[in-house]
Amino acid sequence: MNLRLDLFDLQLFIHIADASSLTQGASRSAISPAAASTRIKNMEAAVGARLLDRTPQGVTPTAAGRALLAHALQIVQQMEHLNIDMRDFGCGLRGQVKLFAHTTSLTEFLPQALSGFLAQYKDVEIELREALSDDIVRSVAANEADIGVVSSPVGTGDLWARPFGSNRLVVVLPADSEFAGAPSLTFAQTLKASYIALPEETALHRFMARVATQSGGHFRPRVQVSNFEAMCRMVEAGVGVGIAPISSVERYAKSMAIRYIRLDDDWAMRQMSLVTQHPDALPVLVRNLSQHLADYAQEHLMPR
């Protein structure tokens, strides 16, 4: 038997059983007693058994009616939970967001920027992935990512772009390096040095390899490390030099015997942008997060 009962009929049956009255149950469901009686008869026909015993004192569920009532209560409760959950998704209170970012923003700015949002929205999950800026733009445009944080000189096409601050890449040197007294350097001038770099799969490593090729050289790091702190410690030990965002190096230079020098290359001054589809096309949760990140950048990352 393929039993088909709609949610309204189940709720009507609950009201009738709770009131022990077809008339009162019909009133709670905002239909006439005659319409309620017809619906109950149709339910009994569908079930193939009588659902209510009628007495002068009212109605009581039969054995079949009690079984139906137990299932009806569970179904209605599940629907109420479903409505609450879907309302939370619709209001942006829960769900998952895919956020792609280049290396510097992922390691330097997003942890702090996201912490406040995640503290406020306990049921939100964020998939944070590192990628090259060009790949991030393509992913957001193709709806494979919800939000992207990219750096110049990448073009953002038809995407909605907002400023997310700026950051400069610098050369990190041992304190006694032959370059330590120079006011600035070009990347090409450093290519013969032994390099300390992040792993090959990171966006910054791939970006530096691309820039080196465009400069007619090769980027072949002698040592690869997992983060900027490890890079600076290797530089301090005299193993080689590194390229890192000034926001990281300034922090580590306070406690390590390292120096940093500005890179003269135009690409070294990186303007960061927050990219999404047009806000009107975004789900509420994505729109809320992108606005939070834009507000964070305005307060903490923009020059004053």
**Span 66-96, pLDDT tens digits:** 999 999 888 888 777 666 556 656 665 667 8
Contact 207, 132 (CB under 8 A): yes
Q: How buried is residue 87: exposed, middle or buried, by Cβ count under 10 Å (0-12/13-18/19+)?
A: exposed
Q: What is the pLDDT of residue 86?
A: 65
How confident is the model over 110-148, as pLDDT tens digits? 999 999 899 888 888 899 999 988 899 999 999 999 999
Q: Which CATH number fits domain 97-271: 3.90.79.10, 3.30.420.10, 3.40.190.290, 3.40.1160.10?
A: 3.40.190.290
pLDDT of residue 217: 83
Domain ranges of the chain: 7-90, 97-271
pLDDT tens, position by position, 200-239? 888 889 888 988 898 888 888 999 999 999 999 999 999 9
When pLDDT is averaged across residues 152-169 and rounded to a whole number, the result is 89
Residue with tokens 């096409």: 157
Its CATH class, for the domain covering 7-90, is mainly alpha
In this prediction, residue 272 carries a pLDDT of 92
Query: CA 230 to CA 240: how far, in whole Å?
Result: 12
Looking at residue 265, what DSSP letter applies?
A: S
Give SS3 for 129: strand
Q: What is the pLDDT of residue 261?
A: 93
Residue 58's pLDDT is 87
pLDDT reported for residue 260: 93
Instruction: Cite the DSSP H helix spans in the chain.
Output: 7-19, 22-28, 33-47, 63-90, 103-104, 110-120, 133-141, 187-190, 203-214, 228-236, 246-253, 284-300
